[in-house]
Amino acid sequence: MQNIRFKAIVKKGNDRGVGFISIPIDRRSSFEKNLQIKAILNLSVEVYAKIRFYGTLGFYIPYKIMHQNKLKGFINVEIKKIDGFYTSVGSDGRIYIPEKEAEKLFLENNDILEIKGNVKGIEQTRYPMLNVRKKSNNSIDYMCSFDSKLSGNFGIFSIVRKLKKDTIIESALQELYCGIIDDETTILYYGNHQPVIINKNIKFDILSHYLGCYFSDGTKRGNNWGICASTFEQANYYYLMHHHLIKDSKIVSNISFTDTDNINVEELIKYLNEAWRNNVKYLSGDVKVRVIKSECKFSLKTNKFGSLVMKENRKLTQIYYNHLLELLFDEMISSKELAINFICGVLEGDGSVSPHLGHLVIATNNRELSLLKEALEHSDIKYNVRIEGENKSCIHIGLLEVIRNIGLLKDKIFIYYPKRRKLLKERLLNTASVRFLLGKSSKTSNWLIGQFNKMGILDGKGHLTEFGIEIQEDLREFLSE
């Protein structure tokens, strides 16, 4: 429909000051009831309206516009057909879609839509889920949540398309609704939780290490998603990987610091903010600092710069992460490499280097012990478990196991925790077994030689096997970094 111009008389629309303009007889063929239009009155006054029947086809003019512009008698009218529909944004961000618009697109309950909205001259795109409600008078409401920040405003909205369902993710994530936005992204809905937009092309060879970090340092229960970084390197890595997974990431950060020296709090907050902001790329502005007072002078949990706590206040983010962990454990069954990557990720958060002979220790709770044991079985790394409390266990990976698997571990272990990586190197260098393999010591115990023979590092005649030479080269590479 081209723009239509005519002169018309402003009639009385009701007893409350609302006006009504009739469409001239020779122009009515271009209009039908409920058609959405934009009318420009006297060249400057804009009115968005629906075509209604009030003795004849026409449209109403709100009292406020009538009163402010003193509209009466003959006026100039220009009518434009709008692309979409004009409606208000409710207090909760809700908009209603005209029934004809919904029927034209065969919309159904729980469809996920791409909707463009132009509010106050700003165009925005959202991907809401449709809620269809049949009323007692047999009319149907089609509604969806657009943006609560726009509540109380009017705008022009148009349905771009109905998103195709991501059947692969829906079949894996029961009770979730998924709509494909493009080749890279999918939006997830689950009950009343806020939706999240995810990367639909995930690869566990890239994710397995990070999910190990999340397993140890992440929030897997409760009302939100979170992960705690003990180093600047971890914080940058966690942020990068989280954005790889969650495309509309909404991270809120704070610093947690354990104070054992009664430091001036104001100076401490300034110092910590500067340190984290200067080393972690995504941080800008001051970050909230939580100072925990402790009487313990030698707590193993204290860090010079504290820890950066990264959170998302969306439960669905946590649900999705936990689902990825489940999928990863399924994939580990047939992949030793994924299991190794995962264990190295766990070591980033809950791992440490034992002062005794360079053993690795993973501290965990009894609830998660069985899962870690399962991952270790798939990794082919030998270990033993010590129960150290009602809800505390420690998994010990011996020095010889570290040596046997050094080729797999050297590029993955403590890579975002430089202090621990350095400590591991120092303690390995101080062990008789490593010194012997590197040729720094010509003699060692018969027991150790027997172990190296069993592991295939020595050939039974005191010489390195082909596998032993690989171990030697990998140790040199790792220790000489």
C-beta separation of 328 from 334 below 8 A: no
pTM, entire model: 0.85
Question: How would you classify the pairing of strands 288-293 and 252-259?
Answer: parallel
pLDDT at 300: 46
pLDDT at 142: 94
Q: Band the pLDDT of 481: cuts 50, 70, 90.
A: confident
pLDDT digits (tens, 9 = 90+) for 183-215: 999 999 988 788 999 998 989 999 999 999 999
Write out the two tokens for 335: 């992949």
Kind and range of the H or E run holding 336 = helix 336-350
C-alpha distances out from residue 306 to 146, 245, 258, 259, 346, Å? 39, 26, 7, 9, 19
Q: Distance between CA 348 and CA 307 in Å, rounded?
A: 13
pLDDT at 295: 60
Q: Distance between CA 377 and CA 373 in Å, rounded?
A: 6
Give the range among 11-20, 26-35, 144-153, 221-230 with minimum mean pLDDT. Answer: 26-35
What are phi and psi for residue 274, nearest 5 degrees?
A: -65, -40
Res. 80: pLDDT tops 90 = no
Tell me what percent of the residues of the chain surpass a pLDDT of 90: 68
pLDDT digits (tens, 9 = 90+) for 269-297: 999 999 999 999 999 888 899 988 766 55
Is the torsion defined by CA of 448, 450, 456, 461 positive or negative?
positive
Measure CA 23 to chain center.
52
Over range 51-69, report the average pLDDT: 92
Write out the two tokens for 85: 């529909």
Supply the DSSP symbol for 112.
Answer: B
Res. 388: pLDDT tops 50 = yes
pLDDT at 260: 72
- CATH number among 2.40.30.100, 2.102.10.10, 3.20.20.70, 2.30.30.100, domain 4-81: 2.40.30.100
Q: Who has greater pLDDT, 100 or 189? A: 189
Helix ranges, 380-431 (H): 399-404, 406-409, 418-429
Average pLDDT, the chain: 91
Q: Distance between CA 229 and CA 231 in Å, rounded?
A: 6
Q: Band the pLDDT of 355: cuts 50, 70, 90.
A: confident
pLDDT at 301: 52
Residues 6+ apart with CB under 8 A from 266: none
Res. 366: pLDDT tops 90 = no
**How many CA within 13 A on the CB side of residue 265?**
7
Residues 6+ apart with CB under 8 A from 355: 427
Q: Band the pLDDT of 1: cuts 50, 70, 90.
A: low
